[in-house]
Amino acid sequence: MNSKPLLYTSEWLVSFQKEMAGAILLTQDTGEVICDYRKRYGMSQQEFGELMDLRRESISRIETGSVTPTFDFARKFINAMSLIEAIRVERAQHKEIDVHFLENLAKELGFNRKELELMIKVAVESYDKKLMKIQKSLKENKP
């Protein structure tokens, strides 16, 4: 089986994807893993549903274990979370996000421009919120 070489997906991102795939496949509670990642990035079930092209109720059923996610859902989930993580890393490393790079990465991972815009919003908001929390903690712990 020949797979296309990845031009924009870095090695660390592939490792991140493999780690998530392992977490999803090797756990008894797949829904909990999915819920943890959704919450990690500060997404509501509604936002996550929009990203995954599912209703909020379907996301709820997956997270509670009432419904087992399909392979296609798991693949899209892994790619979405890895793209969000890549955006967060891009945010951490640069004041300006390289949108051209992210557009190409999104395309490589199977996402369109609209989906990328939602992921950028989610990633930047969650990163900034985490950064403010760390800064506040550092100020409070100053001697």
| Cβ burial 11-32 (10 Å sphere, 16+ → b, else e) | eebeebbeebeebbeeeeebbe
Owner of token pair 């190409």: 104
**Distance (Å, whole) CA 102 – CA 37:** 20
Segment 31-43 shows an average pLDDT of 93
Give the pLDDT band of residue 1 (cuts 50, 70, 90). Answer: very low
Give the pLDDT band of residue 99 (cuts 50, 70, 90). Answer: confident
- pLDDT tens column, 66-97: 999 999 999 999 999 999 999 998 888 876 78
Rounded to two decimals, the pTM is 0.83
Segment 40-56 shows an average pLDDT of 93
pLDDT of 2 above 50: no
CATH fold of 11-140, please?
434 Repressor (Amino-terminal Domain) (1.10.260)
Q: What are the tokens at 136? A: 């506040």
